[in-house]
């Protein structure tokens, strides 16, 4: 979301998946801005001497400041490591911070919201459109998720945003589960205008700077975070320098959703292409089987590719095996596994394999 003129937005991504955003005026260090925001990132000397604050910059430009080799080696700096006590942003940044948000005494954000619209694609997939009271305070990275308290219960479930971070209203895709608490709410009790509570944002599965070709792989409602990423690319206004391909697999034809949105992204994003694949053998869909059966060498680019996968655990494992069988090690493999109908936290395991 927007920041005060001249301030940079810095996302602090903690090891427990919590992300907090701070605004940093030009010339101010990330550590000072964090302190003002009452977020206690790891610090000791504050002088570029000890290395305690060492973080990893996922995207953005900055001046690294003054420090000694003991705190940060040239190789580390070259690889993207940085010292928040010394660094001053020169653009919006995403920083991976060592330690948890809890250690930083930074709680997770909670937001009052309203269910504006409930749309069923089929009997098993719903789209929720949600407005948040204080929308300006809910900032997130494309690909992240929120925990949604299920009205009338003590339970919560987690859903990735399918809307881009700049959207006024938030959207989420929900895949139903037999006797699931969210499914029961949506099918039996939900009314437009219902009050909701959202917590987050969470997750380390988010779009990084596009520095090489991108391959997106989505299974089922795993398409949601990919939609948010594509929306962010559109709203940034800059055409990516590299091609982006999405392979979107589902079990049955009726599970395919938001295909029209993907077609719009083909128009809006130069170099974006996508395939839809249906696993069910009796489907009349032109592409059947698994997503890996429909990847071409140009999509793999001899491994010089950043891969973003969101899908069920079996899909993550199958894609990992596929890299092995093809002898490919992607430059970066970011993934998020989800299970339907279970609390998100233990079920969802974001991860990253980097070459
Ligand atoms: Fe010591 Fe940053 S706190 S180098």
Domain contains 245: yes
Average pLDDT over residues 95-109: 80
CATH, residue 276 = 3.40.50.80
- The answer to whether residue 353 sits within a structural domain is no
Give the pLDDT confidence score for residue 348 in this predicted structure.
Answer: 39
What is the reported pLDDT for 209? Answer: 87
Indicate if 21 and 66 belong to the same structural domain. yes
Q: In this structure, are 220 and 307 located in the same domain?
A: yes
Cα dist from 353 to 27, 81, 290, 304, whole Å: 34, 17, 21, 14
85 and 133 both lie in a single domain: no
Return d(Cα 117, Cα 239) in angstroms, integer: 32
Closest approach atom of ligand 1 to CA 71: 4
Are residue 22 and residue 54 in the same domain, yes or no? yes
Which tokens hold the place of 84? 């928040």
**Lowest-confidence pick of 69-73, 93-97, 133-137:** 133-137
Nearest alpha-carbon partner for 203 in 258, 235, 161, 175: 161
- Cα 61 to chain centroid distance, Å, stands at 20
Question: Dmax of the chain from CA atoms?
Answer: 65
Atom of ligand 1 nearest to the CA of 85: 2
Question: 239 and 167 in one domain?
Answer: no
Angstrom distance (rounded) from CA 17 to CA 38: 18
Structural domain ending residue among the three candidates 65, 96, 127: 96
For 15-58, what is each residue's pLDDT tens digit? 888 888 999 999 999 999 999 998 989 888 899 999 999 999 99
Q: Has residue 341 got a pLDDT over 60? A: no
Distance CA 205, CA 108 (A): 17
**Ligand 1: nearest atom to the Cα of 54:** 2
Which of the four pLDDT bands, split at 50, 70 and 90, describes residue 134?
Answer: confident
Give the three-state DSSP class for 51.
coil
Q: Do 90 and 39 lie in a common domain?
A: yes
CA angle 171, 148, 1 (to 5 degrees): 50
pLDDT at 248 over 50: yes
Report the CATH number at residue 128. Answer: 2.40.30.10
Query: Is residue 133 in some structural domain?
Result: yes
Same domain, 120 and 12: no
Give distance in angstroms: CA of 138 to centre of ligand 1. Answer: 29
Token readout for 140 is: 């997130």
Residue carrying structure tokens 């779009």: 207
Q: Is residue 347 part of a domain?
A: no
Strands 109-122 and 19-24, bridge-based pairing: unpaired
Any idea which residue has 């010394």 for tokens?
86
Distance 350 CA to ligand 1 centre (A): 28
Q: Classify residue 208: in a domain, yes or no.
A: no
Domain match, 47 and 123 both: no
82 C-alpha to ligand 1 centroid (Å): 10
| Ligand 1 atom, smallest distance to 45 CA | 1
Residue 344 has pLDDT above 60, yes or no: no
Query: Separation of 37 CA from ligand 1 center, angstroms?
Result: 18
Residues 80, 28, single domain; the answer is yes
Identify the pLDDT of residue 5.
60
Tens of pLDDT, residues 136-181: 888 888 999 999 999 999 999 999 999 999 999 999 999 998 889 9
pLDDT of residue 350: 45
Provide the pLDDT confidence category of residue 355 given band limits of 50, 70 and 90: very low
| C-alpha 200 – ligand 1 centre gap (Å) | 28
| Same domain as 324, residue 268 | yes
pLDDT of residue 136: 87
Instruction: Give how many domains the chain has, as a whole number.
Output: 3
How many angstroms separate the alpha carbon of residue 86 from the centre of ligand 1?
8
Structural domain boundaries enclosing 82: 8-96
Judge whether 342 lies within some domain.
Answer: no
Which of 51, 69, 96 terminates a domain? The answer is: 96
DSSP per residue, 272-288: EEEEEEE--TT---SSB
Q: Are residues 221 and 190 in the same domain?
A: no
**Residue to probe by mutation, ligand 1, list 43, 56, 72, 81, most atoms within 8 Å of CB:** 43
At residue 249 the predicted structure's pLDDT band, cuts being 50, 70 and 90, is very high
If asked whether residues 165 and 190 sit together in one domain, one would say yes
- Ligand 1 atom with the shortest distance to the CA of 43: 3
Tokens of 70: 């003991």
**Percent composition of the chain: helix, strand, coil (DSSP 3-state, to 5):** 25, 30, 45
Instruction: Give the pLDDT band (50/70/90) at residue 4.
Output: low
8 A C-beta contact, residue 52 and residue 41: no
pLDDT recorded at residue 114: 98
Domain finish residue from 38, 70, 96 = 96
Which residue out of 30, 45, 68, 95 has the highest number of ligand 1 atoms within 8 Å of its CB and is therefore the one to mutate? Answer: 45
Ligand 1 interacting residues, C-beta cut-off 6 A? 43-46, 48-53, 71, 83, 85
Specify the long-range contacts of residues 324-331, CB closer than 8 Å, at least 24 apart.
326/300, 328/300, 328/302, 328/303, 329/303, 329/355, 330/215, 330/300, 330/303, 330/305, 330/306, 330/355, 331/212, 331/303, 331/304, 331/305, 331/306, 331/355
| Confidence at residue 200, expressed as pLDDT on a 0 to 100 scale | 87
């Amino acid at each position: 979301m927007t920041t005060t003129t001249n301030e940079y937005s810095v996302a602090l991504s903690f090891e427990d998946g919590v992300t907090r955003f701070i605004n940093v005026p030009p010339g101010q260090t990330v550590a000072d801005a964090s302190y003002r925001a009452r977020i206690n990132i790891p610090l000791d000397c504050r002088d570029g001497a000890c290395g305690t604050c060492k973080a990893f910059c996922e995207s953005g430009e900055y001046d690294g400041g003054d420090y000694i080799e003991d705190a940060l080696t040239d190789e580390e700096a070259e690889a993207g490591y940085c010292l928040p006590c010394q660094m001053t942003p020169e653009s919006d940044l995403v920083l991976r911070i060592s330690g948890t948000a809890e250690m930083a005494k930074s709680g997770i954000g909670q937001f009052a919201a309203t269910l504006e619209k409930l749309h069923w694609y089929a009997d098993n997939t719903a789209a929720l459109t949600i407005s948040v009271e204080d929308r300006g305070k809910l900032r997130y990275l494309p690909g992240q998720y929120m925990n949604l308290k299920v009205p009338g219960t003590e339970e919560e479930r987690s859903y990735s945003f399918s809307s881009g971070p700049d959207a006024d209203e938030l959207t989420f895709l929900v895949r139903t589960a037999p006797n699931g608490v969210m499914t029961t709410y949506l099918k039996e009790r939900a009314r437009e205008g219902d009050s909701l509570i959202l917590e987050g944002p969470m997750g380390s599965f988010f779009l990084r700077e596009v520095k090489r070709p991108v391959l997106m792989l989505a299974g089922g409602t795993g398409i949601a975070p990919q939609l948010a990423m594509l929306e962010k690319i559109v709203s940034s206004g800059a055409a990516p320098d590299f091609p982006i391909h999405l392979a979107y697999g589902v079990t049955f034809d009726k599970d395919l959703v938001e295909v029209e949105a993907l077609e719009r992204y083909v128009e809006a994003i130069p170099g974006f292409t996508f395939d839809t694949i249906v696993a069910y053998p009796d489907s009349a869909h032109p592409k059947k089987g698994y997503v890996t059966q429909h990847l071409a060498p140009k999509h793999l680019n001899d491994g010089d590719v950043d891969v973003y996968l969101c899908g069920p655990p079996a899909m993550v494992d199958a894609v990992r095996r596929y890299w092995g069988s093809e002898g490919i090690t992607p430059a970066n493999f970011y993934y998020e596994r989800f299970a339907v109908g279970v609390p998100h936290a233990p079920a969802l395991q974001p991860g990253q394999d980097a070459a």
